[in-house]
């Protein structure tokens, strides 16, 4: 099983390479997707759950991310749809931005306040090699921006207006304010 790499790993600070369209449905890319899902599901930091992962987070410098909410308590209350984005491109970001709470699987002990566009539209290929466009608001728009940042070698701590340790009381207040 693939393991999550931490914030000082070089692959997290470089621009990831595009996946050849002919390779999307091949066993190596499908294995990367399986490894990404396993790594996301294995994330365990008390009080926090993973909602998405980019290939660089398992040490693979390819332009792939997936959304898969591991928070079973969220359930049907605020569902976040599962999706795979290969070679994603942001087509549009709203001018309206909010400060949102953000963490990262690869930055295990920190949480921060990041300014993100409220809405985002991406174009990407799914795991079957089918091109799609998807608009999103709220947390899904935030996820799109966070994960594409990963593909561009940017971590949320690089954009954060303020960062706290996850055990800090400010972190709990920030999480409550943005949820």
> Which of 71, 25, 21 lies closest to 45, judged by CA?
71
The 10 Å CB-count burial string (b at 16+, else e) for 137-146 is eebbbbbbbb
User: What does the pLDDT read at residue 49?
Assistant: 74
Residue 3 covered by a domain: no
Residue 158 covered by a domain: yes
pLDDT at 38 over 50: yes
How many CB atoms sit inside 10 A of residue 121's CB? 16
Least confident of 62-66, 80-84, 95-99, 175-179: 175-179
Q: How confident is the model at residue 28 (pLDDT cuts 50, 70, 90)?
A: very high
CATH of the domain at 126: 3.90.45.10
* Domains identified in the chain, total number: 1
Structure-token pair, residue 152: 């561009």
| 133 catalytic residue (yes or no) | no
Alpha carbons 135 and 51: distance in angstroms, whole number: 17
Alpha carbons 160 and 111: distance in angstroms, whole number: 9
**Active-site hit among 46, 127, 147, 176:** 147
User: What does the pLDDT read at residue 79?
Assistant: 73
Residue 2 covered by a domain: no
The 10 Å CB-count burial string (b at 16+, else e) for 18-51 is ebeeeebeeeebeebbebbbebbeebeeeebbbb
Q: Which domain holds residue 121?
A: 10-178
Residue 152 covered by a domain: yes
User: What does the pLDDT read at residue 1?
Assistant: 67
Sign of the alpha-carbon torsion through 39, 42, 48, 50: positive
Residue 113 covered by a domain: yes
Tell me the CA distances in angstroms from 100 to 3, 6, 87, 171, one per residue in order. 27, 22, 25, 12
Residue 47 covered by a domain: yes
């Amino acid at each position: 099983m693939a393991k999550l790499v931490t914030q000082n790993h070089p692959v997290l600070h470089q621009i990831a390479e595009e996946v050849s369209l002919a390779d999307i449905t091949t066993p190596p890319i499908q294995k990367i997707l399986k490894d990404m899902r396993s790594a996301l599901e294995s994330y365990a930091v008390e009080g926090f759950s993973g909602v998405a992962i980019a290939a660089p987070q398992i040490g693979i410098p390819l332009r792939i991310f997936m959304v898969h909410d591991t928070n079973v308590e969220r359930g049907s209350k605020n569902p976040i749809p599962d999706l795979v984005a290969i070679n994603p491109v942001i087509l549009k970001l709203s001018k309206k931005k909010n400060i949102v709470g953000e963490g990262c699987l690869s930055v295990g002990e920190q949480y921060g306040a990041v300014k993100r566009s409220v809405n985002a539209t991406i174009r990407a290929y799914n795991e079957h090699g089918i091109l799609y466009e998807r608009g999103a608001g709220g947390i899904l728009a935030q996820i799109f921006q966070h994960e594409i940042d990963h593909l561009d070698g940017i971590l949320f701590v690089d954009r954060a207006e303020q960062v706290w340790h996850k055990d800090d009381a400010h972190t709990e207040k920030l999480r409550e304010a943005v949820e």
